[in-house]
């Protein structure tokens, strides 16, 4: 069973031969650990079920210091007109210039053309993306990008202002959502022209203990927006995959209702027992292991115990589980290696 089939079976509860697992490291960590990290990743190359994942894949020696635009130090303007500032190369910066700080700019706002422009800096080369996907062969699960709604909104408007707009029920909120969703659907359709298996979305909806906005407002404004996007993907016969940091337990049932196949929640913010109660047997969980504690600050032994406990609690013979360890500074190299070792022990080597 190859990686593509393994992940599909896990997502669809069709008895994969093992739990799919992946480890990724930020550009900042590649810059620090360089060839030592490359050695670890290469040692466990057999575990790679996912294709075309630049943040996790083995890097060429001369690319350790090459960062994508959003990760470069300094100030730049993205293709939506948001002004970013970054003080730490290898990690994403923050937006401090908001094109919609005044709502009067909404009528003149022009999203980037997904035919030729990416979300952040520079043009988008669909031929190059297609070639990169093809280079992974037909044996790995391939993920395209669905973009974001919430994050793009507060990058454009500013977080505090947008939260006040939602609380006050300003009509511009729905206008901006519609504009972004229309753009995202055009972008999604470009991805669906390629040989991919799913579209992955990324919107960080949670604080540490609750949703960032009232769940009633989320259901009013954002549930229908995601439903529009999901419908395009489901009609094409592909999987929907949704990443969101923070506490999101109270909207996972809504995401399931509108057609989500895989949810990628943080175990630390949501709690393992809560995720079992809300998700197990109902939706495939791409479990984001605890970056706030064990991955960054635990000992290798503590990290391995964390991995074993989480997998044993959520796994089922039918599937429904994928596991992920994402490392950022100041995670030690020993912990990255321990994550691979734990996945090898808990998930097992494939028979073929």
Give the pLDDT of residue 48: 86
pLDDT tens readout for residues 148-183: 999 999 999 999 999 999 999 999 999 999 999 999
How do the residues of the chain divide into helix, strand and coil, expressed in percent and rounded to 5?
45, 15, 35
Residue 133: C-alpha distances to residues 27, 46, 54 (Å):
21, 18, 11
**The pLDDT value given to residue 98:** 98
Pick the CATH number of 3-67+138-347 from 3.20.20.70, 3.40.50.2000, 1.10.150.670, 3.20.20.210: 3.20.20.210
The pLDDT of residue 54 is 41
Q: With bands split at pLDDT 50, 70 and 90, how would you rate the model's confidence at 204?
A: very high
Burial zone of 328 (CB within 10 Å; 0-12 exposed, 13-18 middle, 19+ buried) = middle
Question: Does position 326 have pLDDT exceeding 50, yes or no?
Answer: yes
Considering only residues 63 and 300, tell me which one the structure prediction assigns the higher pLDDT: 300
Question: What is the per-residue pLDDT across 47-58, written as a single tens digit (0 to 9) for each?
Answer: 889 986 444 456
Q: What mean pLDDT do residues 182-199 have? A: 95
pLDDT reading at 305 higher than 60: yes
Domain ranges of the chain: 3-67+138-347
What is the predicted pLDDT for the residue at 352? 43
pLDDT of amino acid 51: 82
The rounded percent of the chain whose pLDDT value lies above 70 is 95
pLDDT tens per residue across span 205-235: 999 999 999 999 999 999 999 999 999 999 9
Distance CA 243, CA 203 (A): 6
Element spanning 51, H or E: strand 50-51
Half-sphere exposure of 133 (CA within 13 A, CB side): 20
pLDDT of res. 52: 60
Residue 349, pLDDT score? 66
Provide DSSP, 59-82: PPGGGTT---GGGSSEEEE-TTS-
pLDDT-derived band at 323, boundaries 50, 70, 90? very high
Q: What is the pLDDT of residue 173?
A: 98
Spatial distance between the Cα atoms of 36 and 351, rounded to a whole number of angstroms = 28
**Mean pLDDT estimate for the chain:** 92
Identify the pLDDT of residue 278. Answer: 97
Res 58: pLDDT: 61
Q: Please report the pLDDT score of residue 148 as a whole number.
A: 96
Q: Is residue 67 very low, low, confident or very high in pLDDT (cuts 50, 70, 90)?
A: confident
85-143 residue pLDDT tens: 999 888 889 999 999 999 999 999 999 999 898 888 778 889 888 888 887 767 899 99
Query: String of b and e for 286-308 (b: at least 16 CB within 10 Å)?
Result: bbbbbbeebbbebebeebbebbe
Q: 33 with 167: CB under 8 angstroms? A: no
Output the pLDDT for position 283.
98
Q: State what percent of residues in the chain have pLDDT above 90.
A: 80
**Terminal-to-terminal C-alpha distance of the chain:** 6
Token reading at 151: 């994050």
pLDDT value of residue 122 = 77
Q: In this predicted structure, what is the pLDDT of residue 172?
A: 98
**Other CB atoms within 10 Å distance of the CB of residue 223:** 15
pLDDT digits (tens, 9 = 90+) for 244-291: 999 999 999 999 999 999 999 999 999 999 999 999 999 999 999 999
Q: What is the per-residue pLDDT for 55?
A: 41
128 C-beta neighbours (distance < 10 Å), count: 9
């Amino acid at each position: 069973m190859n990686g593509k089939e393994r992940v599909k079976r896990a997502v669809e509860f069709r008895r994969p031969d093992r739990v799919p697992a992946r480890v990724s490291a930020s550009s900042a960590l590649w810059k620090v650990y360089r060839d030592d990290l490359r050695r670890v990743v290469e040692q466990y190359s057999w575990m790679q079920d996912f294709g075309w994942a630049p943040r996790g894949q083995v890097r060429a020696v001369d690319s350790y210091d090459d960062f994508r635009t959003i990760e470069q130090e300094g100030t730049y303007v993205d293709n939506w007109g948001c002004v970013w500032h970054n003080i730490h190369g290898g990690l994403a910066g923050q937006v401090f210039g908001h094109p919609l700080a005044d709502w009067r700019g909404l009528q003149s706002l022009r999203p980037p053309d997904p035919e030729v422009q990416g979300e952040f800096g520079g043009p988008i080369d669909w031929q190059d993306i297609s070639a990169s996907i093809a280079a992974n062969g037909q044996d790995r699960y391939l993920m395209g990008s669905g973009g974001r709604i919430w994050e793009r909104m507060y990058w454009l408007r500013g977080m505090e202002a947008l939260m006040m707009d939602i609380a006050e029920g300003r009509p511009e909120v729905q206008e901006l959502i519609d504009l972004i969703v229309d753009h995202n659907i055009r972008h999604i359709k470009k991805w669906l022209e390629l040989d991919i298996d799913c579209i992955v979305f990324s919107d960080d909806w949670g604080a540490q203990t609750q949703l960032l906005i009232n769940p009633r407002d989320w259901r009013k404004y954002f549930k229908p927006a995601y439903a529009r996007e999901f419908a395009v993907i489901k009609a094409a016969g592909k999987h929907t995959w949704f990443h969101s940091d923070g506490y999101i337990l109270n909207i996972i049932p809504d995401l399931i209702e509108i057609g989500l196949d895989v949810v990628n929640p943080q175990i630390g913010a949501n709690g393992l027992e809560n995720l079992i109660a809300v998700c197990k047997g109902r939706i495939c969980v791409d479990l984001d292991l605890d970056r706030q504690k064990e991955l960054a600050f635990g000992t290798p032994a503590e990290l391995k115990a964390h991995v074993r406990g989480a997998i044993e609690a959520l796994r089922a013979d039918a599937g429904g589980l994928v596991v992920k360890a994402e490392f950022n500074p100041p995670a030690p190299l020993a912990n990255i290696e321990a994550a691979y070792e734990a996945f090898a022990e808990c998930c097992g080597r494939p028979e073929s």
